[in-house]
Amino acid sequence: MLVIKRKSLIIISVLLMTAITFAICIGALKGGSAGAEASRMTVVLDAGHGGVDGGVTGVNTGVKESELNLMLVKDLQKYLEDAGLKVVLTRSSDAGLYGIATNNLKRKDMEKRKEIIEKAQPVLVVSVHLNQYSVSTRCGAQVFYKAGDENGKLLADSIQSEFNAMEEATRSLSALSGDYYILNCTQYPSVIAECGFLSNPREEELLLKEEYRDSLAYSMFKGIVSYIAQASMAD
């Protein structure tokens, strides 16, 4: 499996860079600058929660969502960087993004995420989370996008398709529109990838396994690359 992934990564990287090079050439012909086109190669990864906000917790182990989100983001970061993309993380540790603030921590945390995204000027944003539901049988990884954002929907559909194709997937889901701050705070195509339910004992057990988290990260990677390639050719 590892050998197959490595071979696939090489092929995907070549296809990605070909698409981006094509877009840069077209941009230059249209009077665009190479610098502006190069900024398209930046991806922002947002590990949800952090600091005092641990997010949801595992039904059996009590594992914090924020910790698993960061693990997933770092796995995804490696795949993207190996493919030649620049990656900016909103957080790279377990700490929150509210600094020394003593109140309004959530608002300050989210505003900092917006600031990081706008400074990066990325081609896309993926915010990684885990889900929870009152019924423990609810399961599956699902992607959300901002209603009316065609690029966001294309990105969400690309990632959702890869999630549905995973060997461990037990049902096929559709990407859904959602009204969330991280989707609405900037004009860049953004999605929230809910990578499973910590309220589901089976998914909690899977999410605690490094190999499964790697599979989720690889699925997101393939969805991101597919989106970038399509967007680059469309330009």
| 141: in domain | yes
Q: pLDDT tens, position by position, for the chain (235 residues)? A: 554 555 555 555 555 655 554 444 434 333 444 444 444 589 999 999 999 999 999 999 999 999 999 999 999 999 999 999 999 999 999 999 988 877 899 999 999 999 999 999 999 999 999 999 999 999 999 999 999 999 999 999 999 999 999 999 999 999 999 999 999 999 999 999 999 999 999 999 999 999 999 999 999 999 999 999 988 777 6
Tally of domains in the chain: 1
| d(C-alpha 154, C-alpha 162), whole Å | 13
Q: Is the dihedral of CA 220, 224, 230, 233 positive or negative?
A: negative
| 150: in domain | yes
What six digits make up the tokens of 132?
């929870």
| 32: in domain | no
Contacts of 184 (CB under 8 A, 6+ apart): 146
pLDDT for residue 102:
74
Look up the pTM and report it: 0.86
The set of long-range contacts for 146-151, using a CB threshold of 8 Å and a minimum separation of 24, is 146/177, 146/178, 146/179, 146/183, 146/184, 146/190, 147/177, 147/178, 147/179, 148/177, 149/183, 149/189, 149/190, 151/124, 151/189, 151/231
| 21: in domain | no
| 178: in domain | yes
| 3: in domain | no
Alpha-carbon distances, residue 38 vs 20, 35, 172 (angstroms): 9, 5, 35
Q: Which domain holds residue 112?
A: 42-224
What six digits make up the tokens of 100?
């020394």
| 18: in domain | no
What CATH number is attached to the domain comprising 211? Answer: 3.40.630.40
| 170: in domain | yes
What six digits make up the tokens of 66?
């924020």
Q: Identify any residues that bridge with 143 across adjacent strands, giving them in sequence order.
A: 193
